[in-house]
Chains A and B, each alone.
Chain A
């Protein structure tokens, strides 16, 4: 009952015309960012932070959250229309979404993606409402050892699942942790690895890092390849047939469950739920041979899982202060820019704000559903703009975004540096997502580890003797062991094949 009253208070705040307008603008801008191939929701959200600079914290976060899930949907549009995922989670949609588009069924593919996203997003938000207070109460009982162990679970999942190669995934994660060492020591307050540069005292900001690794790196890769877009698909009617609806009901229900539960796990990444949903739908299908040829289940399931994941991934952020993906890390940065620290204390100290943002997720999902179908011609028109022009415009927004956050030239240089690093990472097949997540998690992990050891006077058994931290460390150990085993098997399998 307490939750219901708080949520109603949130709805009262979000239904104010200005907040509704921010949610609407966020959905449109987010979808636009998602439509631009390669940029993705993380860099897109980061680029658009300056637009919210003058808003009050509630309005700013409502708009940024709408940009986030708008971008998650926007990625679908390019996957279906030009076979290029706007963001990684939509990669699997290319398989059947583009096949549908080539058969003149782009309209139904986009319509079912919009409906699935709405269902997945709304159910996941209901889960957020139900789990928020119990999880917050649990999190408030956490001490430094429990936090450290929880962050280690997140880290083990990031490195184990985010890469084709365990070694390369781990290297990216360790580089992020090392970069997090730059700045002021989180416990004693002494400067570290700053080499006398005052700009480095606060360490690298998440926004220039994300814009560099995802935005500038993509621009450099496109410049190198002289990328051109080919738009040769037919939209067709957006109306769904009875057969389409019947075929999609099961995949949407299963996608919601998969996306929601995987969204609760910090650090898993958005690709896993979509690929898992796709493979389950293919396995359950009586006609698996249709997959890859334009099966609507191959769009409905993954797209639902994608949005359910996107909304559920906000649960660890709101309740534990842990970002699950690079985009959520950017959102976390935006919280901090607005003087709010995500985590259990947020529900106590800024209850009105946090429930308004949660209510805005419901409203945003409705706006996205209403918005997506009529706006499709606009996105198609944007996709026809020459890529050199789009790239240059994105570069301009990256420059504004990096500079205007703290009016600092240093942030532009940092963005360029991380852009070059992201470009090299792509060439070397090193995933950038673990670096971003560990850059954010690094100071939290270090603080947790050091405060725990201070509590125990240097005795490491503190992590194993406390039930929650002991269990979490066991989970982390199992995940790392499974990942290592899989990596060895892959190497041995490849060797025996050759």
Chain B
């Protein structure tokens, strides 16, 4: 895990420098007392120290053994990417084509990616998760869900 923590520490150090720089654009102190940038500045400083501590620990400390599931195989990353992509697609499509069509597509895609269910099982779950859930939430629970350009 040595390189992983060295890399993470350096990313956090960059973040600390950036936040510190941005916080200086805000007022550090006002006539009333600490300003909007006061807390952020000190937090960025503490984050910088902690990031440096993480890097030093990783470089000079006893190396931590890497858990076996730290890195996945290609298929694992593909599935992670597919789920993340499905969520992003849902965000982009939800208000355009509506809840029912979006969720049907999300369920269909994710189920096909993650499992080995039959097409019929996938279709039934996708229909229940989209049209069925819409009916329950909108009709029974009065929770408004978006309707898209096709009226669905």
Tell me the A residues contacting B by CB distance below 8 Å.
50-51, 53-54, 167-168, 170-171, 174-175, 177-178, 181, 185, 187-188, 190, 192-193, 216, 219-220, 223-226, 386, 388-389, 391-393, 395-396, 399-400, 403-404, 407, 409, 412-413, 415-416, 419-420, 423, 427-429, 446, 449-450, 453-454, 457-458, 491, 494-495, 498
B119 interface residue per 8 A CB criterion: no
A445 vs B46: C-alpha distance when bound (angstroms): 16
Closest to B108 in A: A392
Q: Is the CB of B91 within 8 A of A409?
A: yes
A332 vs B124: C-alpha distance when bound (angstroms): 37
**Which of A50, A177, A190, A415 interacts with B137 by CB under 8 Å?**
A50
Q: Is the CB of B111 within 8 A of A50?
A: no
Q: Which residues of chain B have C-beta atoms less than 8 A from A412's C-beta?
A: 87, 90-91, 94
B151 interface residue per 8 A CB criterion: no
How far, in Å, is A159 (CB) from chain B's closest CB?
10
A181 vs B34: C-alpha distance when bound (angstroms): 14
Q: Which residues of chain B have C-beta atoms less than 8 A from A392's C-beta?
A: 107, 110-111, 114-115, 125, 129
Q: Is the CB of B144 within 8 A of A404?
A: yes
**Which of A170, A400, A407 interacts with B133 by CB under 8 Å?**
A400
C-beta contact mask, B80-96 vs A, less than 8 Å → 1, else 0? 10111011101110110
A352 vs B6: C-alpha distance when bound (angstroms): 54
Q: Is the CB of B94 within 8 A of A403?
A: yes
B53 interface residue per 8 A CB criterion: yes
Nearest 7 Cβ contacts at the A-B interface: A388-B115, A388-B114, A454-B33, A224-B76, A412-B91, A185-B36, A223-B79
Q: Is the CB of B50 within 8 A of A171?
A: yes
Contact residue range for chain B?
35 or more
A220 vs B50: C-alpha distance when bound (angstroms): 28
Q: Which residues of chain A have C-beta atoms less than 8 A from B141's C-beta?
A: 50-51, 53-54
8 contacts between A and B (CB under 8 A): A53-B142, A167-B53, A174-B46, A181-B43, A386-B115, A392-B129, A395-B110, A491-B61
Q: Is the CB of A395 within 8 A of B83?
A: yes
Q: Which residues of chain B have C-beta atoms less than 8 A from A420's C-beta?
A: 84
Q: Is the CB of A53 within 8 A of B12?
A: no
B51 interface residue per 8 A CB criterion: yes
Q: Is the CB of A391 within 8 A of B114?
A: yes
Known contacts A181-B39, A185-B36, A388-B111; A220/B83 CB under 8 A: yes
A498 vs B35: C-alpha distance when bound (angstroms): 49
Tell me the B residues contacting A by CB distance below 8 Å.
4-5, 8, 12, 19, 22, 26, 29-30, 32-36, 38-40, 43-44, 46-47, 50-51, 53-54, 57, 61-62, 67, 69-70, 72, 75-77, 79-80, 82-84, 86-88, 90-92, 94-95, 103, 106-107, 110-111, 113-117, 121, 125, 129, 133, 137, 141-146
How far, in Å, is B122 (CB) from chain A's closest CB?
9
How far, in Å, is A60 (CB) from chain B's closest CB?
12
Q: Which residues of chain A have C-beta atoms less than 8 A from B33's C-beta?
A: 450, 453-454, 457-458
Q: Which residues of chain A have C-beta atoms less than 8 A from B110's C-beta?
A: 391-392, 395
Q: Is the CB of A178 within 8 A of B53?
A: no
Q: Which residues of chain B have C-beta atoms less than 8 A from A389's C-beta?
A: 111, 115, 117, 121, 125
A403 vs B129: C-alpha distance when bound (angstroms): 15
How far, in Å, is B5 (CB) from chain A's closest CB?
7
Give me 4 other A-B pairs in contact (C-beta within 8 A), A192-B26, A395-B83, A458-B33 excluded. Answer: A175-B47, A391-B114, A392-B110, A392-B125
Q: Which residues of chain B have C-beta atoms less than 8 A from A192's C-beta?
A: 26, 36, 40
How far, in Å, is A410 (CB) from chain B's closest CB?
9
How far, in Å, is A242 (CB) from chain B's closest CB?
44
**Which of B4, B87, B107 interacts with A428 by CB under 8 Å?**
B4
Known contacts A188-B30, A223-B82; A413/B133 CB under 8 A: no
Closest to B90 in A: A399
Q: Is the CB of B142 within 8 A of A223?
A: no
How far, in Å, is B117 (CB) from chain A's closest CB?
7
A84 vs B148: C-alpha distance when bound (angstroms): 40
Q: Is the CB of B79 within 8 A of A395?
A: no
Known contacts A188-B36, A388-B111, A395-B110; A224/B84 CB under 8 A: no
